[in-house]
Amino acid sequence: MKPLEGRIALVAGATRGAGRGIAMMLGEAGATVYCTGRSVRGRPATGTRPETIEETAELVSARGGRGIAVRVDHTVESEVAELLKRLKREQGRLDVLVNDVWGGDELTEFSQPFWKLSPEKGRLMLDRGIYSHILTSRYAVPLMLERDRGLIVEITDGDSFGYRGNLFYDLVKLSVIRLAFSMAWELRRHPITSLAVTPGFLRSEAMLEGFGVTEANWRDATAKDPHFIASETPFYVGRAVAALAADPNVAKKAGRVFSSWQLAKEYGVKDVDGRQPDWGEYFRKTFGRSYTLADEAAYATWSNGLMEIAYPDWPKE
């Protein structure tokens, strides 16, 4: 029996990249996966990108799970509400929610200070990268509460609290880590775990295309960027998320951010090419020192706050 056989998962933002890899690996572990996004056949939603949610669902099924494609704009409340109504009607439960909605690649203006950024692009990035996650969790958690079990995975970029190269990008990627923490705090009296996960240097479809390579000859891209040698496929973080979903002790990780390479070591996960990339270790060797992780010392500054002291029973139910 596969470890996630009988489990129901929702991957919000499953069209491509990490979302697709996670959906496929949840399927590989036996789950039924609802694959949502805005790009459907005949109606691409992200420029000229060819990937669709139907394709992702088919790939989930090909891996041994059951993929179900549903077109949803996760920034539209009525569409999210209808999705969860459908999920309840068809499955009666939700075990795993992966919030991977992004859509910010074409909006991010790296190497520009905030006073030169486009406010319109920035606001859209916040809507897609933060608000969509909150909205989806708001409608998904009540379904988890009916069975009093579940896992929420926030997909971010980076396992530190350091700056990420663009004000809006930085705000989004750090906010979803904080979102995982805040939801974990409010869910602390329920066996529903909220946490965040980051991939390393991702060999996504767009990244391969940008370097002019394919998965078969991806190492050729190191001529343009030597750091690409430490890259990983979307399946690597996918297998890490699947391992989390199968872990009966996952609640111990509530409110924290974890990297694909950290989880790979813990759970014995390998990428589909048999490698076990470790971006953190590569960074240390390349630059001579490690960056500061979001470790227990960092999280200590988020603990023992006003609410915990003055209102320890909040929220009342």
Q: Are the C-beta atoms of 255 and 185 separated by less than 8 Å?
A: yes
Which tokens belong to 285? 């060797």
Is omega for the bond preceding 312 within 30 degrees of 0, making it cis?
A: no
**Nearest one of 188, 248, 301, 241 to 26, comparing CA atoms:** 241
- The CA distance from 9 to 95, in Å, is 6
Known catalytic membership, residue 291:
no
Q: In the numeric block, which tokens belong to residue 244?
A: 């989390």
Q: CA dihedral in degrees (82, 149, 251, 203; nearest 10)?
A: -40
Catalytic residue among 131, 169, 236, 311: 169
Pair 203, 234: CB distance under 8 Å:
yes
Q: Which positions are catalytic?
A: 169
